[in-house]
Structure 1
Amino acid sequence: MAGTTVLKVLGRKFDGFERAFTAQLGAIAEPAAFELAEIGDLQRIVLDEDGATSGDYDVLLLITDWLPSLIESGKLVPLDFGDTPPEGWPSAWVPSLRALQTGPDGRNYGVAYHDGPMLLIYRKDLYESEAEQAGFRERFGYPLAPATTWAEFRDQALWFDRPAEGLRGTVQAGFPDEHNNVYDFLTHLWSRGGELIVGGKSGLDSPAAREAIAFLHDLWHVSKVVDPAAARWDSVESGVRFAAGEAAMMVNWCGFAALSAEKYSPTHGLVGCAPTPSGLAGAVTINAYWVLAVPAGAEDPRRSADLIRRLTTHEMDVRTALAGGSATRRDSWAAPEVQAVAPYYAVLEAAHGSARSLPADPRWPRIGAILNEMMRAVVVDAAGEQALGRAHEELTALLG
């Protein structure tokens, strides 16, 4: 391969990705290197600057939220695998892990590399403790079990919240990065029967939206079951804190349950997973995932596509899981070595059945910015319904 240009992969900074890419790129013949950036920097480089068109990168690891805008603006090229598509394509991936990278032209712009969805992740040792069960029943009048409703979630967060003992009722990712803070709001909105956009207009002026904001405001500022420091934590940090034993439960990306798989983890063997709690409209989980895509500036799109094909085989997907990422293939979910890593793989396919995704709207970066500021105000300023009202006005103006 002397003289062959080294392909460069750009993605999000996350220990699981770093370990996975190190193992994967070291195991293939194609010369390739990777660079990882914080999610805000990655968004700026790819969406706001010329990272997708400059020729500096050959493969991008992207959250599906950004794809409609990137596809519409011509910053990604459709994948062309020729006669050698990824191993098992397309049936090795569930439909909900193929849909979001399909463009309006019906062409495919990426292959899933790291999976959500969001689940309820909880401490089995706490929930199975006879003393905890007895005390909870005495106080709340019903058995202690992983929450199936948001009312139960709040009760349990109140019960387990013991800051003097280093244990909080739950953990949130409050950092305003248009990621978990926005997803938390949408999870509550949708499970309560609300919609972000109704008939082309803002759906934020609704009882469901007000209930969603009131619930989140309560967790942070009334019941105070969240560490105030979590206002500065992103999804990764919140997952790390849970794995360190600092909270009884959380709704977060299923992959963070794998952080407890390490034998040195304080929560090793103590973590369980369940569907997200339900509102009046039932249980809803956010479906967002990371895909490998070819930027428009790639020097040789065919080489880029071939690298993606090599990185998404069953063998490489298992490596992703063992490195601390989340496998995306059905055959990987069923592999014993993968199921041994984390408790969520057995429920992933079922969880995708109740998954919803962000609107496939090229305006999403601007919509997300509105919701991001709304949630910043809820978390930091305790603005609650006032923040919701401002967001409704701004979304109304944007949608026209």
Structure 2
Amino acid sequence: MKLFSSKKWIAAALTSVLVLSACSSNDEGSSSDSEGGGDGDQVTLNTVFLGASWGEAARELAKEYEEETGVKVNVELVGRDAIYQRLALSIAGEADYDLFNVDYNWIPEFAAADRLLPLDDLIAENNVDLDGYLPRALALAQWDGNNGSFGEGGTTYGLPQTIHPHLLWYRADLFNDEALKAEFQAEYGYELLPPQTMEQFEDAAAFFHGKEVEGTTLSGWAAQGSKGFGNVHTWLSFVYSNGGDVIDWDKMESSLTTPEVVEATQTWVDLLEYSPGGINEYTFAEVAADASAGRLAMAIHWSWSSFEVDDASLSQTVGDWEFTQIPTMETSAPHLAGWVNVIPRTSKNPEEAFKFLAWLQNEDNDVAQALMGAGDPVRTASYTNEELTGAMIEGTETERFRRYEPLEGAMESAMARPFFPQEEKWESVVSEYLSAVQVGQMTVEEALEQADEAVNNMLDN
């Protein structure tokens, strides 16, 4: 495994953020005043969170923190791209921010450029125990400087706030329907059960696809398929579960034409036959909408998103969905998503920012965030906490957090996106070729050969 030491890449990263900050300098709300933390001064922390449920939870909890400590925490809720822009402004010295909620794949990028504050000393000084975190959740916040080193420890650059690996979602009401079970048994020769293998998944997808249930025509399954990032995120769960990897980290060469990756890609593409029309444009939102409307029999989707199908104001399928680990190929290794809170080196209040960061992710608040509908917990103890395990969907006898058992299992084998500074650019490159396969412009072999070449060119420049 090669140590990341490319001065050329670090220089490029620094140039990109400086250019971005210049282009974004007129962005309304991108700059905030930060009061100093001198003796007798009130400390004000300026923070940026994703405008998702966990960002909203952080904003609510920040009010409690101010009541407890007197430290005011301003929380901006913005989109993913806007977070990156504000972080760029901050590290360029053009805005005063103390804490950012970031997609974990940015950590190697900004850590390589020495723009994130290493937290190990503050962790020790404040007696923060990291042992309570799910190991793979904590690993999202650590990097040892080596490309592809997810899960191998290293410097801690943040604390995870939420994780959401891919799970297999399935309509329990359909899988338990006696007439459908008898029909499936007659056609396939075995009992209709939640798929454990990819072969069983294909059979179930084919069986349900096009079937009409209570006036609704079903699709066999859905997942994100849009060009940009969505198709890559779904495809990675197939690649990892087939024992593949996308880069040979020892040689730092693309490995998209290995038999494992080719087979996984072909399997994914073939299964799209049983997905909704327009699947190649599906983002997170379309998958959740179809699941809520009862138009799907199954989905491969983020664990956390299940809150949408259990919200009576949004969903016609409240309580109908159950969850299990994604189907096995060589193994079951779902793609892991997650968000981490980090402190930029330019923070004027790093010690106070860390205290808030550690408080936000303590045991009580990990549970509190889950109850508030934020992302899935990052601490092991939360998964057996009675407040969570005993919570029911309002007006039902269905467990609100019934996904937690398969989620814990998924977190034993979940794998991150390629853990290296150029990951975001890598996704953009690969997504183009996956999209070409999806729309029939290339065969799997043609696309992966060209993607290999394009990725290697990217790695060399």
When normalised by structure 1's length, the TM-score is: 0.88
Residue 60 (structure 1) aligned with residue 97 (structure 2): no
CA distance in 1, matches of 2:317, 2:55: 23
- Which of 357, 376, 390 is matched with 1:326 structurally? 376
1:362 deviates by 1.8
Task: Name the counterpart of 1:131.
Answer: 179
1:365 deviates by 2.4
Task: Name the counterpart of 1:394.
Answer: 454
- Which of 113, 125, 129 is matched with 1:83 structurally? 125
CA distance in 1, matches of 2:438, 2:364: 42
CA distance in 2, matches of 1:163, 1:145: 17
| Larger CA deviation: 225-234 vs 385-394 | 225-234
- Contact preservation (8 Å) 1:202, 1:395: yes
1:322 deviates by 1.8
Listed one character per residue, the Cα deviations across residues 72-129 of structure 1 (whole Å, up to 9, x for unaligned) are: 012211122453244xx21211221222322327321111111122211111111111
Residue 149 (structure 1) aligned with residue 197 (structure 2): yes
CA distance in 2, matches of 1:122, 1:276: 11
Residue 22 (structure 1) aligned with residue 34 (structure 2): no
Task: Name the counterpart of 1:300.
Answer: 349
Q: Compared with structure 1, are the counterparts of its residues 284 and 81 closer, same or farther at alpha carbon in structure 2 (3 Å cutoff)?
A: closer
CA distance in 2, matches of 1:343, 1:13: 25
Task: Name the counterpart of 1:274.
Answer: 324
1:292 deviates by 0.9
- Contact preservation (8 Å) 1:40, 1:177: no
| Larger CA deviation: 112-121 vs 23-32 | 23-32
Listed one character per residue, the Cα deviations across residues 344-364 of structure 1 (whole Å, up to 9, x for unaligned) are: 212333222222223322222
Task: Name the counterpart of 2:424.
Answer: 365
| Larger CA deviation: 5-14 vs 390-399 | 5-14
Listed one character per residue, the Cα deviations across residues 161-207 of structure 1 (whole Å, up to 9, x for unaligned) are: 237624321111123342x4212222212222322123422211122
Residue 350 (structure 1) aligned with residue 409 (structure 2): yes
Higher relative contact order (CA 8 A, sep 6+): 1
- RMSD (Å) for aligned C-alpha atoms: 2.5
Task: Name the counterpart of 2:221.
Answer: 170
- Which of 211, 219, 222 is matched with 2:263 structurally? 211
Residue 108 (structure 1) aligned with residue 156 (structure 2): yes
Listed one character per residue, the Cα deviations across residues 313-345 of structure 1 (whole Å, up to 9, x for unaligned) are: 222212221222211111211112323322121
Stretches of structure 2 lacking an aligned partner (at least 5 in a row): 1-34, 146-153, 392-399
CA distance in 2, matches of 1:8, 1:230: 39
Q: Secondary structure at the match of 2:156?
A: coil
Letter of the 1:76 partner, please give it. L
CA distance in 1, matches of 2:316, 2:309: 7
- Which of 376, 388, 392 is matched with 2:435 structurally? 376
Task: Name the counterpart of 2:51.
Answer: 13
Residue 32 (structure 1) aligned with residue 73 (structure 2): yes
CA distance in 1, matches of 2:244, 2:291: 29
Stretches of structure 1 lacking an aligned partner (at least 5 in a row): none
Q: Secondary structure at the match of 1:356?
A: coil
- Contact preservation (8 Å) 2:101, 2:339: yes
Q: Secondary structure at the match of 2:306?
A: helix
| Larger CA deviation: 330-339 vs 375-384 | 375-384
Q: Compared with structure 1, are the counterparts of its residues 82 and 390 closer, same or farther at alpha carbon in structure 2 (3 Å cutoff)?
A: same
Task: Name the counterpart of 2:276.
Answer: 227
- Contact preservation (8 Å) 1:240, 1:256: no
1:134 deviates by 1.1
1:311 deviates by 0.8
Q: Compared with structure 1, are the counterparts of its residues 124 and 261 closer, same or farther at alpha carbon in structure 2 (3 Å cutoff)?
A: same
1:213 deviates by 2.3
CA distance in 2, matches of 1:122, 1:261: 13
1:43 deviates by 4.3
- Contact preservation (8 Å) 1:75, 1:295: yes
- Contact preservation (8 Å) 1:311, 1:317: yes
Q: Compared with structure 1, are the counterparts of its residues 298 and 241 closer, same or farther at alpha carbon in structure 2 (3 Å cutoff)?
A: farther
Q: Secondary structure at the match of 1:67?
A: helix
Q: Secondary structure at the match of 1:68?
A: helix
| Larger CA deviation: 54-63 vs 287-296 | 54-63
- Contact preservation (8 Å) 1:55, 1:298: no
Q: Compared with structure 1, are the counterparts of its residues 82 and 147 closer, same or farther at alpha carbon in structure 2 (3 Å cutoff)?
A: same
CA distance in 2, matches of 1:337, 1:251: 27
When normalised by structure 2's length, the TM-score is: 0.77
1:237 deviates by 4.3
CA distance in 2, matches of 1:18, 1:98: 19
Q: Compared with structure 1, are the counterparts of its residues 108 and 231 closer, same or farther at alpha carbon in structure 2 (3 Å cutoff)?
A: same
CA distance in 2, matches of 1:85, 1:262: 39
Residue 121 (structure 1) aligned with residue 169 (structure 2): yes
| Larger CA deviation: 322-331 vs 381-390 | 381-390
1:294 deviates by 0.7
